[in-house]
Amino acid sequence: MAKVNRSKIGLSLLLSLLLCYFITDLEASSSHQDLDQPYRTGYHFQPPRNWMNDPNGPMIYKGIYHLFYQYNPYGAVWDVRIVWGHSTSVDLVNWTPQPPAFSPSQPSDINGCWSGSVTILPDGKPVILYTGIDENKSQVQNVAVPVNVSDPYLLEWSKPPLNPLMTPNAVNGIDPDRFRDPTTAWLGLDGEWRVIVGSSTDERRGLVLLYKSRDFFNWTQSTTPLHYEDLTGMWECPDFFPVSTTGSDGVETSSFGQDEVKYVLKVSLIETLHDYYTIGSYDREKDLYVPDLGFVQDETAPRLDYGKYYASKTFYDDDKKRRILWGWVNESSPAKDDIKKGWAGLQSFPRKIWLDESGKELLQWPIEEIETLRGKQVNWHNKVLEAGSTLQVHGVTAAQADVEVLFKVNEIEKADVIDPSWTDPQKICGQDESSVKSGIGPFGLKVLASKDMEEYTSVYFRIFKSNDTNKNTKYLVLMCSNQNRSSLNDENDKSAFGAFVAIDPSHQTISLRTLIDHSIVESYGGGGRKCITSRVYPKLAIGENANLFAFNKGTQSVDVLSLSAWSLKSAQINDESISPFIEREDAHSPKQF
């Protein structure tokens, strides 16, 4: 177990922050990348080494942000001996690594400490509910509590002997392999806690089981699940939270302001490996969630992200009154490459998430703190992207950048009518964009591009006339992220990703924001209506050799009303060398209780 000198923490943190600003400034110009590690990121959350998957129990406590994560201390691939990795931050951008919060140690979690969530109790104390794999390989729900609630870093956690709190058994009909990922709990009007746990039946009915408790420790399963949907398979990593109908501020999970909130249920479908959400209402009397008309909690529901993105989780940031979303961004490389580079898995850049005015979709945007990393800026105003043109954006570190573009389409009526068989945006985006030529588009960005375009990842729009005359919108805006030419290495998953963005290009401009970070490209279309994250591993377009272009392959010109691109400095992400209070062995020998 880590021996920590607590009196030094404040000073260490201050020192680390100071150091961090110095170091990042120095590194910004040369880019911090190690030539052996061209795919390590500059500002995305990742542990110093090894495997990471789901974000767990994000919270803010006494002014310190915490992120726990599924972590394998033994290597760069997933392992049953998974532990809760832990890092802390004062700004959600720079992160200090901490010893793992807990590891398998009890009969109720001896085969793994899997995902879970934090609930802040009314007295301000945080409690973790997480899934343990017990000595009989059954999934059970456990609790962990901080040892010292005066410690804002919450370095030590203990597991009361009463674990497990919830178990599957023949009576409740829950399969021991399909019972996991408790959410943040919320208080009912009756003063009882509620929490949901992901599950499915043998007939592939996906569901979120509801449990209730007076004291947070003795939980009773409710006779009806909070929600279910047939033929959807296992629902992993559910997330259930209120969103305001009157603005972009977040709402605390137990809030009772029922008139001015809608509810969001997100589930991660194991059968498709995507995160889907519905918007609806929560009947507090019957403890049922009812999606709004038009939403079904299956793979037809909108996704939080249409690319590599899974097992996401939100938390309410009481300091800045916002809800923040984290999501696991998997590799696209074969395991042998992950082992070679010694790590696997990123977290998406934290996103603020809120309900659009229409009440029909969620909006996401990188948290404002990203602006603290912005360095050199390049601006374009009112540039015309002629048909068939490609313009280079000079003057930013193209491998580590933040780009915002506002496009305006002129002769919108020249858009092609969409082929009625093209219903799957991912398939349309998989068409070879270098040979596709349509009326309007493809137009957008080529990022992580080599000088001669042997490699690039393209993020672009195509605009079609709707074939369905009954539709209100006459035009369809397709957003794509195409990885086909992202790397000369053909062993990576280069699937294309795509989504339709619900905006009207005959009246509205089309915005694109793209965060580029060496091996990750996170794009926000239409002001955060649709997000697409991809992982790419260029061989040529690395570091200084990466370039950024705007392009238009369509037969009609498109205006760039504005383009702003910033070089981004490296954040201090879990750099062990500036965390003197952590013993190095911790990364290799998770602490035991």
Ligand X SMILES: *[C@@H]1O[C@H](CO)[C@@H](O)[C@H](O)[C@H]1NC(C)=O
Q: Which positions are catalytic? A: 54
Asked whether position 150 contacts ligand X by CB under 6 A, the answer is yes
Please report where in the chains the tokens 């809800």 appear, as a residue. 323
Residue 94 CA to residue 138 CA, distance in Å, equals 37
Contact yes or no for 455/486 (Cβ under 8 A): yes
Structural tokens at position 328 = 């696991």
- The residue from 181, 331, 361, 575 that contacts ligand X (CB under 6 A) is 331
Which residues, at least 6 apart from 320, have a Cβ–Cβ distance to it below 8 Å?
none
Asked whether position 484 contacts ligand X by CB under 6 A, the answer is yes
* Diameter over CA atoms, the chain: 69
CB of 488 to ligand X, least distance (A): 8
Nearer to ligand X, 40 or 529 (CB): 40
Name the one range near ligand X by CB under 6 A: 170-178, 258-266, 325-333, 470-478.
Answer: 325-333
- The residue from 29, 136, 246, 506 that contacts ligand X (CB under 6 A) is 136
Q: What residues between 488 and 517 interact with ligand X by CB under 6 A?
A: 493
CB of 555 to ligand X, least distance (A): 18
Which residue lies nearest ligand X, judged by its C-beta? 432
Nearer to ligand X, 236 or 402 (CB): 236
CB of 446 to ligand X, least distance (A): 14
Nearer to ligand X, 104 or 526 (CB): 104
Asked whether position 485 contacts ligand X by CB under 6 A, the answer is yes
Nearer to ligand X, 228 or 456 (CB): 456
Asked whether position 46 contacts ligand X by CB under 6 A, the answer is no
Within 13 Å of residue 413, how many CA atoms lie on the same side as its CB? Answer: 0
Asked whether position 134 contacts ligand X by CB under 6 A, the answer is yes
- What separation, in Å, do the N-terminal and C-terminal C-alpha atoms of the chain show? 8
Length of the chain: 593
Name the one range near ligand X by CB under 6 A: 128-136, 401-409, 546-554, 585-593.
Answer: 128-136
Asked whether position 117 contacts ligand X by CB under 6 A, the answer is no
- Give the number of other Cβ atoms within 10 Å of residue 288's Cβ: 16
Q: What is the DSSP letter of 573?
A: B
- The residue from 27, 48, 81, 151 that contacts ligand X (CB under 6 A) is 151
Asked whether position 273 contacts ligand X by CB under 6 A, the answer is yes
259 by DSSP, 3-state: which?
helix
Asked whether position 332 contacts ligand X by CB under 6 A, the answer is yes
CB of 577 to ligand X, least distance (A): 23
Q: Which residue type sits at 79?
A: D
Name the one range near ligand X by CB under 6 A: 82-90, 114-122, 147-155, 244-252.
Answer: 147-155
Asked whether position 303 contacts ligand X by CB under 6 A, the answer is no
Each residue 546-565 as x (binds ligand X by CB under 6 A) or -, in order, gives: --------------------
Supply the DSSP string of 175-234, one letter for each residue. Answer: -TTSEE-----EE-TTS-EEEEEEEE-TT--EEEEEEEESSSSS-EE-SS-SEEETT---
Name the one range near ligand X by CB under 6 A: 41-49, 170-178, 330-338, 353-361.
Answer: 330-338
Q: What residues between 165 and 224 interact with ligand X by CB under 6 A?
A: 218, 220
Name the one range near ligand X by CB under 6 A: 130-138, 294-302, 406-414, 584-592.
Answer: 130-138
Nearer to ligand X, 484 or 545 (CB): 484
Pairing of strands 416-417, 457-465: parallel
Number of residues that bind ligand X (CB under 6 A): 24
Question: Buried b / exposed e across 134-145, counting CB within 10 Å, b at 16+?
Answer: beeebbbbbbbb
Name the one range near ligand X by CB under 6 A: 172-180, 328-336, 455-463, 526-534.
Answer: 328-336
CB of 406 to ligand X, least distance (A): 27
CB of 535 to ligand X, least distance (A): 8
Nearer to ligand X, 30 or 218 (CB): 218
Asked whether position 486 contacts ligand X by CB under 6 A, the answer is no
Q: What is the DSSP letter of 415?
A: P
Nearer to ligand X, 151 or 175 (CB): 151
Strands (E), 411-486: 416-417, 440-449, 457-465, 475-482
Residue 73 CA to residue 69 CA, distance in Å, equals 11
- The residue from 12, 75, 81, 107 that contacts ligand X (CB under 6 A) is 107
Nearer to ligand X, 372 or 484 (CB): 484
CA nearest 433: which of 477, 479, 393, 391?
479
Structural tokens at position 518 = 């060496």
CB of 190 to ligand X, least distance (A): 12
Q: What residues between 404 and 463 interact with ligand X by CB under 6 A?
A: 417, 420, 430, 432
Asked whether position 148 contacts ligand X by CB under 6 A, the answer is yes
CB of 485 to ligand X, least distance (A): 5
- The residue from 1, 6, 62, 257 that contacts ligand X (CB under 6 A) is 6
CB of 426 to ligand X, least distance (A): 12
Residue 386 CA to residue 401 CA, distance in Å, equals 25
Residue 436 CA to residue 447 CA, distance in Å, equals 19
Residue 468 CA to residue 466 CA, distance in Å, equals 5
Structural tokens at position 362 = 């969620």
Order across the sheet with 83-89: list the strands. 96-102, 83-89, 64-72, 50-61, 343-344
Residue 561 CA to residue 381 CA, distance in Å, equals 6
Cross-strand bridge partners of residue 207: 199, 228
3-state secondary structure 463-474: EEECCCCCCCCC
Q: Which residues bind ligand X (CB under 6 A)?
A: 6, 107-108, 134-136, 148, 150-151, 218, 220, 273, 310, 330-332, 417, 420, 430, 432, 467, 484-485, 493
